[in-house]
Amino acid sequence: MSILTPKALSPSPCLGKPRNPIPNPKFRSFKPHVTQFHCTCERQTERGIEFDTGESFFRHESATGRDLGVLAAALYRQSKGSLRVLDAMCGCGIRSCRYLLEAKADFVLANDANDEYRGIIVGNLKKVERGFGDTRRWVVSHFDANRVLTECYLQRDFFDLIDIDSFGSDSLFLRSAMSALRLNGLLYLTSTDGYSSGGHRPHCSLAAYGAYIRPMPCSNEIGLRMLIGGAVREASLLGYHVTPLFSYYSYHGPVFRVMLQVNRGKEHENRHYGFISYCSQCGNTRSFSWEELGQISCSCSSNKDCSPVTVSGPLWKGPLHNAAFIAEMLNLAEQWGWIGNSTGADLDKLLKRMLDESDPRLPVGYIKMDEMASRAKINSPSLKTMMSTLLKEGYAVSRSHIASNAIKTNCTMKECIRIAKEIQGAQNLDVK
């Protein structure tokens, strides 16, 4: 088994200059005295694991994303019998530590470009005996993530799971990560660019993910689909195809995270890679294929040429989650005692909503109750009442894990308004 260590990384003709070159030796000993900043190595705890963060960027709110990654990694190891993880931007190393302790990873390469974090990372990983030679459990390196990924590919040192917790809409790592990933492996991607997903930087989303994004009410779901769509495009260039196992949005940041399984072979039909439209007149969201490009309109307008339709794409318009995989994650979380009590309520609720969202009858997008109430000019009925009524009328419906006051349903906005008005009328009669 090939083990990548910092010394094994050698310059390659395909790599550019380091982004942080070694400073002039003449000034190495110069350290300006700065009083307004100081390192607070406060002890943190996550799922019973104690660790230090030092001056690395760390958010408690991201713990749920780490929970999901660990559950997926553990299921992979149970299925395949082994697990090698590359944490490309490990920060303080808590993700790497959790992959080792909770997912029982056989080996973790914890990389962060900032070598000033080395003491913190090594200190946190020392909870797991490092080992020697082929039995080594973990290695810490400090290189640009793309360089590490490329070197792993060149050395044919492939990983089962690659976690890339990057900032912004940086899709720079997609191709090198897929090259360094073992076939049928897992790729955990991140975007924190809410401006692009909201349609406020269409040229940035076009450059990063090949998708021209325009403002839509379900912009946070569009952000997930934009990220998956970028991966679909890169995978196709390499002769691969991707399957989303789960997609997770968190408002802090905001943060968009998707876990993809990468497999060999292109899909013969790009049925899940196309365009999504929103009609400002009727409020409906629809998806369109490439074959329908140039014919996109909305049936609410008699004049097709004047239909007030906003179109974004190309992006992923298929399922955001794999229902069977989410069910396995939920079962494993129950076995570990992560849910079923007050401390696990949020994860329990999240996984169950993801499972509900996996209903194949549900289309892209979601309906915000506030928007529906505004169009109907009524007070919004409760989510519970609205959903139960939709179910009684034969529609598929679920709550959205992305927006708390929204529903995913195959019912049109027009029909939702009718149902909401009927609910209000019945409630008014009850009051009288």
Q: Which two tokens stand for residue 48?
A: 């019973």
Higher pLDDT among residues 250 and 266, named by residue: 250
- CATH 3.30.420.40 describes domain 366-431: no
Measured CA to CA, the distance from residue 173 to residue 61 in angstroms comes to 24
pLDDT reported for residue 47: 92
Measured at the alpha carbon of residue 128, what is the angle toward residues 162 and 166, in degrees to the nearest 5?
Answer: 30
Round to whole Å and give the CA distance between 159 and 181: 5
On the question of pLDDT at 380 being above 60, the answer is yes
Does 213 score more than 90 pLDDT? yes
Q: Contact at 8 Å (CB) between 400 and 350? A: no
Domain borders along the chain are 44-267, 366-431
- Tokens (6 digits) for 273: 């890679």
**CB atoms near residue 430 (< 10 Å):** 7
Q: Is the pLDDT of residue 322 over 80?
A: yes
Predicted confidence (pLDDT) at residue 1 exceeds the cutoff of 70: no
413 within 8 A of 284, measured Cβ to Cβ? yes
Q: What is the CATH number of domain 44-267?
A: 3.40.50.150
For 288-308, the pLDDT digits (tens) are 999 998 889 888 866 555 567
Q: Is the pLDDT of residue 35 over 90?
A: no
Q: Which residue has the tokens 């876990």?
A: 259
- Give the tens place of pLDDT for each residue, 112-125: 999 999 999 999 99
Q: Report residue 128 as tokens.
A: 């797991």
Q: Are 365 and 278 in contact (CB under 8 A)?
A: yes
Q: What pLDDT is recorded for position 145?
A: 96
Binning pLDDT at 50, 70 and 90, where does residue 8 land?
Answer: very low
Residue with tokens 């890679």: 273
- Please give the model's pTM, rounded to 2 decimal places: 0.88
> Comparing C-alpha atoms, which of 229, 165, 234, 226 is closest to residue 197?
226
Confidence of residue 41 (pLDDT cuts 50, 70, 90): low
Confidence band (pLDDT; 50, 70, 90) for 379?
very high
Of 137-141, 188-192, 344-348, 428-432, which range is least confident?
428-432
Is the pLDDT at 405 greater than 70? The verdict is: yes
Predicted confidence at residue 302, as pLDDT, reads 60
pLDDT of amino acid 134: 86
Query: What's the CA gap between 269 and 363, in Å, rounded?
Result: 19
The phi and psi torsions of 38 (rounded to 5 degrees) equal -155, 155
